[in-house]
Chain A
């Protein structure tokens, strides 16, 4: 009897087909959606990407950061700096910002990795505060009150407003798809196997020869760079930056954590489901203002206590669906399929 290892299952084949159809429909959104629809969808993509990246950190590598706003803001400020001082085309400044942020993340990782577990979380928050306070001292970028992107740079993206809207929309979609693809590929690589081992039991992972510290630092740096690219895009769309908006703990960490917890932490589908729920609630309840945030916090607590795997965790437990082909399965010819990871 021969055996082989496969990632796909029947539900993941159906899932990937649906994803491909969905992608085509979404990529064609400029043909069917209005300006407001495109902007809302672009925001949704940005949150899917941010939440997926936070999920990679916290859900897989066990690095619970409450300071990812450091990289959202850093990426955004780098975009403005490259554009204003370096005359770099804004779309090219996005990947550039990602690379520089990843480089900045190397010494930062060395510092915050001295703190363990819970203390790591608050350490990352302090780093974000240092970034924010430093940004408000940079007077050439407007100091504490911030600055706007010059019109000449924006017009350089595309001559008409409509075309700019389309391009920005496709950039957002491309970034979100790229982030998801990056995570899928990372999880299917040997690093992914190491990450899942760490997620399930750090001690067992060490015993099996996984270099836990190195794997975690790698994930931290990759996540920092990608998060910075999303941050750069968000503020490219907003056209205006200020330290408080760019390094907001509410917008870039609290919402992202709630999205991931509600959708299902430690599963790639979780942040996507969470973002859809988050935006559906926001569209209906946003008028409530502070009460909305209060409810979101309460919902996250209840989910953490009652169903810690989130909405998608319940779906998996009940139906054993998986959209993305990530689980390794040993297939023996003639024998039924069994999940192994």
Chain B
């Protein structure tokens, strides 16, 4: 029994990380109908930036967030302003192909700079610290911290979206770009800010990913897929739905891995396909994918 409680608990905690992968994806889709195929590779890029920061400055991975988050946000702003804004329009093809090309460029650029070796960020004693919930059920302090950060990120995004002028600009541009422009908003700037925010979340997700497990330049696309699955499982257009979708995915993978280690990822995909088959609008919304 405690065995299964442990499995589900681990799944929920990992699910927090998946929710962070998903939140950035969901944010930019909501604002500008753009699906960023390079999303996963940007997560890995953030992990490598943190690696460089910790190695050259001798700081811990969590402190490196102070550098990596603003840096990724700046990259996001520039990327949107210089390249991605030019791809937006009626046609679906240009944004897909350009972000797909970007994904290949980031992967191979990282491969050329850092080789295909496995890397990991060292968080010291924090990595092995555990908390005992009840007899037989222990939780790592790090997964717990990661989960708390995920909740905080979603709550912060929710706040920005519904309680600030920036969030109003996001929602206005999403509803009707033309009218938003007539009301004096500069859409190109608003979109660039949305991408900056998305990549700030990506930076946090990337650093936690890099503390939790080994990474190499090729693991980006799988993170994109996890994030995407969380978005669809949760249902489009709801940040807390996306969060719940991440938890469902995490639990499905944990159960799969517990039955057979080879089934971890497959179980997550199957859960996604089952939900797509029986409830394509997602578990937690009334909208339609």
Q: How many residues in B have their beta carbons less than 8 Å from beta carbons of A?
A: 44
When the two chains form the complex, which single residue of B87, B92, B262 contacts A136, counting CB atoms closer than 8 Å? B262
The contact string, 1 if C-beta is below 8 Å from chain A, for chain B 145-186, is 000000000000000000000000000000000000000000
The contact string, 1 if C-beta is below 8 Å from chain B, for chain A 54-77, is 000010001010100000000000
* Given A111-B276, A290-B111: A137 in contact with B262 (beta carbons within 8 A): yes
Which of B5-13, B33-41, B134-142 contacts its partner? Answer: B33-41
Contact A122 B269 (CB under 8 A): no
Q: Which residues of B sit under 8 angstroms from A118, Cβ to Cβ? A: 29, 33-35, 92, 95-96
Contact A134 B105 (CB under 8 A): no
Q: Is A305 part of the binding interface, using a Cβ–Cβ cutoff of 8 Å? A: yes
Extra pairs beyond A257-B100, A265-B93 (11, CB < 8 Å)? A64-B93, A66-B37, A119-B35, A130-B266, A133-B266, A297-B108, A300-B97, A300-B101, A301-B102, A301-B105, A304-B94
Q: Which residues of B sit under 8 angstroms from A129, Cβ to Cβ? A: 222, 225, 265, 269
Q: Closest 3 interchain pairs by CB?
A: A118-B35, A297-B104, A297-B101
Q: Report the bound CA distance from A130 to B86 in whole Å.
A: 34
Minimum C-beta distance from A274 to chain B (A) = 13
The contact string, 1 if C-beta is below 8 Å from chain B, for chain A 289-320, is 01101101110110011001000000000000
Contact A115 B37 (CB under 8 A): no
18 example contacts (A-B, Cβ-Cβ < 8 A) are as follows A64-B93, A66-B96, A115-B280, A117-B33, A119-B228, A122-B225, A126-B229, A126-B272, A129-B265, A133-B266, A294-B109, A294-B112, A297-B105, A301-B83, A301-B102, A304-B97, A305-B94, A308-B94
Q: Which residues of B sit under 8 angstroms from A136, Cβ to Cβ? A: 262
In chain B, positions 202-251 with a C-beta closer than 8 Å to chain A are 221-222, 224-225, 228-229, 232
Chain B residues within 8 Å of A, Cβ to Cβ: 29, 33-35, 37, 83, 86-87, 92-98, 100-105, 108-109, 111-112, 221-222, 224-225, 228-229, 232, 262-263, 265-266, 269-270, 272-273, 276-277, 280, 289
Q: Which residues of A sit under 8 angstroms from B29, Cβ to Cβ? A: 118
Q: Report the bound CA distance from A254 to B270 in whole Å.
A: 25
Q: Which residues of B sit under 8 angstroms from A126, Cβ to Cβ? A: 225, 228-229, 269, 272-273
Contact A254 B225 (CB under 8 A): no
Minimum C-beta distance from B32 to chain A (A) = 11
Contact A122 B37 (CB under 8 A): yes
Nearest A residue (CB) for B112: A290
Q: Report the bound CA distance from A300 to B105 in whole Å.
A: 11
Q: Is A166 part of the binding interface, using a Cβ–Cβ cutoff of 8 Å? A: no
Contact B232 A119 (CB under 8 A): yes
Nearest A residue (CB) for B95: A118
Q: Report the bound CA distance from A115 to B97 in whole Å.
A: 18
Q: Report the bound CA distance from A129 to B103 in whole Å.
A: 17
Q: Report the bound CA distance from A116 to B232 in whole Å.
A: 12
Q: Which residues of A sit under 8 angstroms from B225, Cβ to Cβ? A: 122, 125-126, 129
| Candidate in B95, B103, B108, B221 with the most chain A CB atoms within 10 angstroms | B108
Q: Which residues of B sit under 8 angstroms from A111, Cβ to Cβ? A: 273, 276-277
Q: Report the bound CA distance from A58 to B93 in whole Å.
A: 8
Q: Report the bound CA distance from A338 to B16 in whole Å.
A: 60
Minimum C-beta distance from B100 to chain A (A) = 6
Contact B102 A305 (CB under 8 A): no
Q: Report the bound CA distance from A199 to B152 in whole Å.
A: 44
Minimum C-beta distance from B27 to chain A (A) = 14
Q: Which residues of A sit under 8 angstroms from B37, Cβ to Cβ? A: 66, 121-122
